[in-house]
Structure 1
Amino acid sequence: MHSHDNIDWDAHLERLRAADELNAPEIAEVVGKLVRPGDRTVLEIGAGAGGTAAAFAAALAESGGEVTVVDTAPELLAAAGERAGAVSDRVTVHAVRADAAEDGLAEAVVQAGAPAQADLVFAAFVVHHLPDQLAGLRRLAELVRPGGRLAIIEFGLQTRVLPDDVGLGEPGLEARLIAARDQSFQQMRAEMDGSARLPVGWGKALSQAGLSDVRSWSYLVDRPAPLDEVGRSAVLRRLQLLRRHAEDGLAPADLEALDQLVDESGEHCAANRDDVYYLTANTVHVGTR
């Protein structure tokens, strides 16, 4: 949950829905591992397009459990409510203040009308955006009922989509793109107001946030070549994301090669290749309050 200024919501939601479609089997598996027989309430921090909320709603449907989604963006909440609401009528969405992640998250959630605590609090790819990530984990832990659990998903291994030599520029382009994005991310974090380093792994950070019985596991999203239309679109989105972070970190020849790969009207567009693939690993970290 972060700034939403100048966002093209139609395009953003299209990307999020496409990601939900690509990752649906893996997310269903993750949700199945997270939801315990006694769980009746799930609180998801960050709405996305509603794919994960829908998976939680399906997992809780038989027990009559409730799924609550909070976010700062009404556009995302509307999409998530529609998507998950089609699965269960026990899904609610609530808008929280834009500064809720920085100060008084529990109070802001209650003020928004959401339950004070839940059996499972879930946040995927949210905490790494917070200036003080450990403080953010402590605030999330306040939303967990005693005996409940906090689960976060963060990046495991970098996504790979290209063969080593794409025939444009020098071999090894993707590795240089990833390095440029890493540099851009670190610079972004350094420039955040109140930024604090987190010099430990996510599992230990959960322990330092006051949680016990911490465990982690990773899951692969493995779509080998040749890809279907969903996979090819995911490759193009990945390269477009890398392009946004590449301007200051790549040589001109690499930028030229990348521009040809993301040019949807050009002969070298990556989405038209039969040798691109999609391979990534994300990690789930869970702790008990």
Structure 2
Amino acid sequence: MTHDHHEDHPQGRSPGHHRDHADIDWNEMASVLEAQAELFTPLYERALAWLGHKQTAPGLIVDAGSGPGVVSCLLADAFPGARVVAVDGTQPLLERARARAARLGVADRFGTLAGELPGVLDDLDYPPDLLWASRSLHHLGDQRAALAAFAARLAPGGTLALLEGGLPARFLPRDLGIGRPGLQARLDALEEEWFARMRADLPGAVAETEDWPGLMAAAGLRHTGTRSFLLDLPAPTTDRARAHAATVLSRTRDGFGDELDAADRATLDRLLDPEDPASVHRRRDVFVLAAHTVYTAERTG
């Protein structure tokens, strides 16, 4: 199965999420993925508008690692003449994607495909003109081979749009007024260590320098652009943004609790306690600031 969905938390690297799929309650997880992707919709819309200026009208768009289909439906809206296929390894998420497409009135040009990337792309009826892969590539052990497979399945002149990297999301000021300053920087460092372990443990894992334009060129594609897109929801922010911050910090607390010192655990517990005036549910300085980077390349042959 595809072990990542681009509607995961903003870094795309949440500890505790990448377990065996049989252990995950997808009905519960899907609503979290949807809420997070909906919050980030302005960022995705700007990215897709940029793609629209670069891409001639595509006939088929594939969303590789689609999750519950929030961005798949945004692709359908951004490219109204295209057919969109959401590809994922988890049927309950694809059911959500189909239901969303129906609610938004795009079901007549929307389909789903279940299976493991990249091999499942062989089951497409014809090659895509645009393949959108948002934080799904880094959950495939051999990223170079996966990029080559993506490239081989594009239509001539087709575009691969790869969303990888960017900057970790921040929600809180450096000095919270409780605990030691710099909490989120320390959490980011733990997450980087976790991410390295996750990559190393993937089946067929190959260490690779994350030079995405270079890897695209090695796959026979012509790099056509790189751009980063910002989500900036300043303080005092919305209840939806606060809920997102609470969800991410809660999952971080669950995933890294044993690696945090007692002071940082106590700080996180206060931040997550709705009754505490210092919590993200109540404090006025909560914000959401994140950046995602998109790389594009074209199949020339």
Q: 2:105 aligned with 1:87, yes or no?
A: yes
Residues 1:26 and 2:43 aligned together: yes
What residue in structure 1 maps to residue 192 of structure 2?
Answer: 182
Q: Pick from 58, 74, 77: which aligns with 1:55?
A: 74
- The Cα shift of 1:5 comes to 1.9
Secondary structure of 1:218 counterpart: strand
Distance 1:200 1:13, change over 3 A: closer
* TM-score, normalization by structure 2: 0.87
Q: In structure 2, how many angstroms separate the alpha carbons of the residues matched to 1:258 and 1:41?
A: 45
Aligned counterparts, 1:159-198, within 5 A: 159-198=169-208
- CA distance in 1: counterparts of 2:275 and 2:29, whole angstroms: 21
Preserved CA contact (<8 Å) 2:213 2:223: no
Q: Who is 2:288 aligned against?
A: 278
Q: Confirm or deny: 8 A CA contact 1:226 1:277 kept in the other structure.
A: yes
Q: Secondary structure at the match of 1:70?
A: strand
Matches of 2:250 and 2:213, distance apart in 1:
31
How many angstroms does 1:250 deviate by?
A: 2.0
Q: Structure 1 residue 221 and structure 2 residue 231: aligned?
A: yes
Q: Which residue of 1 aligns with 2:10?
A: none
2:31 counterpart letter in structure 1: E
Structure 2 unaligned blocks of 5 or more: 4-19
Q: In 2, Cα distance between the equivalents of 1:81 and 1:270?
A: 34
Q: Please name the residue that 2:65 is paired with.
A: 46
Q: How far apart, CA to CA, are the structure 2 residues paired with 1:243 and 1:208?
A: 39
Contact 1:213-1:287 at 8 Å conserved across structures: yes
The SS at the match of 1:246 is: helix
Rounded Cα–Cα distance in structure 2 between residues aligned with 1:134 and 1:262:
40
Instruction: Give yes or no for the alignment of 1:72 onto 2:89.
Output: yes
Equivalent in the alignment of 2:22: 5
Distance 1:282 1:21 in 2: 15
Aligned-residue offset at 1:231: 1.0
Using the size of structure 1 for normalisation, the TM-score is 0.90
In the alignment, is the contact (CA less than 8 A) between 2:76 and 2:84 conserved in 1? yes
Pick one of 149, 158, 162 that aligns with 1:148: 158
Q: Does 1:109 align with 2:121?
A: yes
Question: Shift of the alpha carbon at 1:193?
Answer: 2.8
| CA drift at 1:248 | 4.1
Cα displacement string for residues 217-265 of structure 1 (whole angstroms, at most 9, x for unaligned residues): 0000111100111111121122123223323432121112112212345
How many residue pairs align between the two structures? 278
Gaps of 5+ in 1: none
**Cα shift readout 1:104-148 (whole Å, capped 9, x = no counterpart):** x34x3344xx33411001111111111111111111112211110
1:182 maps to a residue whose letter is: E
Paired amino acid for 1:82: A
Query: 1:287 and 2:297 equivalent?
Result: yes
Quote how far apart the aligned CAs of 1:280 are. 0.6
1: CA distance, partners of 2:176 / 2:214: 39
CA 193–94 in structure 1, closer or farther in 2 if over 3 Å, else same: closer
Hey, what's the Cα distance between the residues in 2 that align with 1:6 and 1:266?
32
Q: Distance in 2 between matches of 1:231 and 1:184?
A: 25
Match of residue 243, structure 2, among 230, 233, 237: 233
In structure 2, give the amino acid aligned to 1:56: L
Equivalent pairs: percent with the same residue? Answer: 33
